[in-house]
């Protein structure tokens, strides 16, 4: 439960509205703890994520809790403890998760706490397993190559039958 002040402050209300607007523009969120990362490491991570259509935002936990409550999303308050940064994914969340886990190998200070993907809460272990799955584009490529292989085999078979009839 988020702590709500008795007296509204315009600056804080505006900050919460800004966070809520950013959160509503995407559907997938990966929560990380960035304690121990240097500024250059965070900048490098942000650049890698930006290349894949993702934003990495450091948030105040209480503001984020209020924004998620106002959006009526799943309860993510367990991820909003300690220094928190959220990777806001616009495209493929598993690609973003892959980037985060690969970066965590280089910089062990980065900890992936969990995620909210398509309205479902993933703990750290589940999001790590999710990151190992092929992405949407990879799956489409696999499907298309399978379909192309079957079609090519069919065409080669028809050509072989036509060649045999031509020889006879």
Q: For 146-155, how does the pLDDT look when each residue is reduced to its tens digit (9 = 90+)?
A: 888 888 888 8
If phi > 0 it is left, if psi is from -120 to 50 it is alpha, else beta; for residue 36 that is left
Domain assignment present for residue 5? The answer is no
SS3 114: strand
**pLDDT tier, 133 (very low <50, low <70, confident <90, very high otherwise):** confident
Which residue range forms the structural domain that includes residue 149? 135-168
Beta-bridge partners for 57: 86
State residue 129's pLDDT score.
86
CA gap 166, 77 in Å, rounded: 73
pLDDT of residue 30: 93
pLDDT tens-digit readout, 113-131 = 999 988 889 998 898 888 8
* Residue range 110-115: mean pLDDT, rounded: 92
Q: How confident is the model at residue 42 (pLDDT cuts 50, 70, 90)?
A: very high
Same domain, 81 and 147: no
Number of domains in the chain: 2
Indicate if 143 and 82 belong to the same structural domain.
Answer: no
Residue 77: predicted pLDDT = 87
Q: Quick check: is 101 in a domain?
A: yes
Q: Is the pLDDT of residue 33 over 60?
A: yes
Task: Find out whether 97 and 130 touch, Cβ atoms under 8 Å.
Answer: yes
Q: Is residue 70 part of a domain?
A: yes
User: Which two tokens mark 48?
Assistant: 């890698």
My answer on whether 118 and 53 are in the same domain is: yes
């Amino acid at each position: 439960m988020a702590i709500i002040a008795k007296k509204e402050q315009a600056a804080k209300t505006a900050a919460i509205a800004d966070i809520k607007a950013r959160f509503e523009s995407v559907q997938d969120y990966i929560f990380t703890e960035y304690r121990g990362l240097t500024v250059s490491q965070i900048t490098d991570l942000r650049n890698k994520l930006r290349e894949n259509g993702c934003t990495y935002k450091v948030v105040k936990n209480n503001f984020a809790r209020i924004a998620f409550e106002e959006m009526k999303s799943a309860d993510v308050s367990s991820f909003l403890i300690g220094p928190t940064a959220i990777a806001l994914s616009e495209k493929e969340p598993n690609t973003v998760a892959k980037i985060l886990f690969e970066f965590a190998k280089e910089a062990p200070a980065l900890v992936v706490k969990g995620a909210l993907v398509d309205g479902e809460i993933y703990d750290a272990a589940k999001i790590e397993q999710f990151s190992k799955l092929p992405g949407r584009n990879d799956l489409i490529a696999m499907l298309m190559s399978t379909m192309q292989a079957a079609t090519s085999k069919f065409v080669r078979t028809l050509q072989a039958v036509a060649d045999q009839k031509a020889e006879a």
